[in-house]
Amino acid sequence: MRRILPLLAFLSFAQQIPGETPGTQKTETFDVDPGWDNSSNRVEAADPPTVKQDFGWSPGRIGGTVWKSTTPAWYGMPLERTLSFQDAFSATGKIVATHDPNGGGVAYLGFFNHERQGWRPWSSMAMRLVNEGDKMLIFLDLMTAKWAASAAEMEVSVPTDGSKHTWLLNYDPEATREPWSDTKLHDYLTSGRQTADEILVKAQQVEPGLTLTALEQRLKATLQKGQVLFLERHGKKLWSLKQVNEDLKGAVSVQIDGGQEYRTFLPRGLRDQQVMLDRFGIFNMQLYHGAMNFEVSDLAVNGQKIDLSKDPGWEGRGHRTAFMERDFQRQNFGFSAETSHAEGRKGEIGGQFYNVEPDDPLHGYYADEVGRLTLDDPIRFAGKITFIEGSTDAGMFFGYFRAEDEKRVLPPNTTVVPGWPQPTVIHY
């Protein structure tokens, strides 16, 4: 589910060609198709699904059906001025979630930049709404214009049964985190991930009568204060210390139905980075694939009541449309005769690359056959490269490799990873 989208070109490179004079140089300008060897580099969908984005304004509310898709879709209110993480801002309202049989949906509600989102959205501070069947989970996501990000998973949700719930999203740029009062609990935790059962083993050595229920209540209290990190992975609830020894300033919080606010704090360096929030509204998560349904009413943004009884005239892109979803984290790279990103003239190689698992059939390559080289051979290549777009956790390679190894499907390897539930299946 991780992606990188560079366009690149090698305009010339030199290498030792077996059987040729040492130092033989081969040059490629890509003005014509070089006809290189390839495998799974242009992947097409055999039976692509249909995405039907259908969200925006309806009398008295905003929302609708939001599809997770690599194609961006958003609907938002232009802000009076562009905000950063040094400004205070907030939004409140009521939300209704209903079950969607397609499942797997994720959408955002909050502040963002309308020109760029991505699967981890640039310049944003929003609630991430996750369709989990009979409930909608609520997380916090934020990211600067420089790609620095933070997030908070919380044990907060609303049922997908059509019931109405109040919500609050608030950011205070001057907030600081209070010192730990539960110092014993602090000592039981580490920066590594532990289950409550694992923490209890340590805790009972100091507090023999401590129960699992009491420990979980203390963990939840520190989670609400933004002092611990909570993650639910592989069916396990995991806890760890959050932002240890960091200079924190600024807190974003979420509150549902007037309950306890859950807060997460920003490292000062992240808070002070460039951020350009110019819209409030709804935008999709740019990954493949899934849908969810929700609506928001009784909306107020930065203390101003929004009249949704009539069309507010907000802006949008791709929020009322239907199309065949052909981009399913697919590889799409090779020779391109018409693009000119790297050199300024047409003809180059490159395209869209996805960071995939080795047992995924979508990994591939596009390469020139150079014969057999070893580390006894002099190897050198040079050229020009341009990265058009990238995304969090993405990766790709260019260089020398053995083609038959790139076509081989590797079995999963069970490896012990500290801090994770055991065993963990890792593909490499």
Class of domain 50-180+189-324 (CATH, top level): mainly beta
Q: Are 284 and 70 in contact (CB under 8 A)?
A: no
Q: Judge whether residue 1 has pLDDT over 80.
A: no
- Position with higher pLDDT, 239 vs 116: 239
The ranges assigned to domains in the chain are: 1-44+330-428, 50-180+189-324
CA distance 333 to 209: 61
Residue 416 has pLDDT above 70, yes or no: no
In this prediction, residue 291 carries a pLDDT of 95
Structure tokens at 66: 């939001």
pLDDT at 326 exceeding the cut of 80: yes
Q: Reduced to 3 states, what is the DSSP secondary structure of residue 222?
A: helix
- The reported pTM is 0.84
Residues shown for the chain: 428
- Closest to 55 in 3D by CA, of 97, 115, 103: 97
Q: Grade residue 386 by pLDDT with cuts at 50, 70 and 90.
A: confident
Residue 203, classified by CB atoms within 10 Å of its CB into exposed (0-12), middle (13-18) or buried (19+), is: buried
Share of the chain above pLDDT 90, in %: 61
For the chain, what is the mean pLDDT? 87
Q: Report which of 258, 269, 286, 189 is spatially closest to residue 229, judged by C-alpha positions.
A: 189
Mean pLDDT of 64-88: 96
Look up tokens 């549902």; give the residue.
256
- Residue 208 CA: distances (Å) to CA of 121, 196, 200, 203, 356: 46, 15, 10, 8, 46
- Across the range 380-387, mean pLDDT stands at 84
pLDDT tier for residue 414 given thresholds of 50, 70 and 90: low
Q: What is the reported pLDDT for 354?
A: 82
pLDDT digits (tens, 9 = 90+) for 158-202: 999 999 999 999 999 999 999 999 999 999 999 999 999 999 999
Exposed (0-12), middle (13-18) or buried (19+): which is 110, by Cβ within 10 Å? buried
β-pair type (290-301, 304-305)? antiparallel
Give residue 417's pLDDT: 53
Residues contacting residue 405 through CB under 8 Å, at least 6 positions apart:
none
Return the CA Rg of the chain: 25
Q: Is the pLDDT of residue 383 over 70?
A: yes
pLDDT for 415 equals: 60
Are the CB atoms for 275 and 85 separated by under 8 Å?
yes
Nearest-angstrom CA–CA distance, 292 and 103 = 7
What average pLDDT does this structure show over 145-158? Answer: 89
Query: Among 81-95, 204-218, 361-375, which stretch is predicted with the lowest mean pLDDT?
Result: 361-375
Q: Mean pLDDT across the stretch 370-385?
A: 86
Mean pLDDT along residues 215-226: 94
Tell me what pLDDT residue 2 has: 45
Whether residue 414 contacts residue 424, with contact meaning beta carbons closer than 8 Å, is answered with: yes
The pLDDT of residue 62 is: 98
Residue 210 has pLDDT above 90, yes or no: yes
pLDDT for residue 19 is more than 80:
no
Examine the pLDDT at 252 and tell me if it is beyond 60: yes
pLDDT level of residue 377 (50, 70, 90 thresholds): confident
**pLDDT, position 355:** 78
Confidence of residue 382 (pLDDT cuts 50, 70, 90): confident
Average pLDDT of span 85-93: 98
d(CA 68, CA 331): 19
pLDDT score recorded for residue 424: 41
Asked if 100 and 131 touch (Cβ cutoff 8 Å), the reply is yes
Specify the 3-state DSSP secondary structure of 243: coil
Token reading at 394: 């993405």
Check residues 419 and 98 and name the one with the higher pLDDT: 98
Backbone φ and ψ for 279, nearest 5 degrees, come out as: -140, 155
pLDDT digits (tens, 9 = 90+) for 277-323: 999 999 999 988 899 999 999 999 999 999 999 999 999 999 999 99
Residue 9 has pLDDT above 80, yes or no: no
Residue whose structure tokens are 């589910």: 1
Q: Which residues of 53-76 are buried (b: 16+ CB within 10 A; e: fewer)?
A: bbbbbeeebbbbbbbbbbbbbbbb
- Residue 77, helix vs strand vs coil: strand
Average pLDDT over residues 250-274: 94
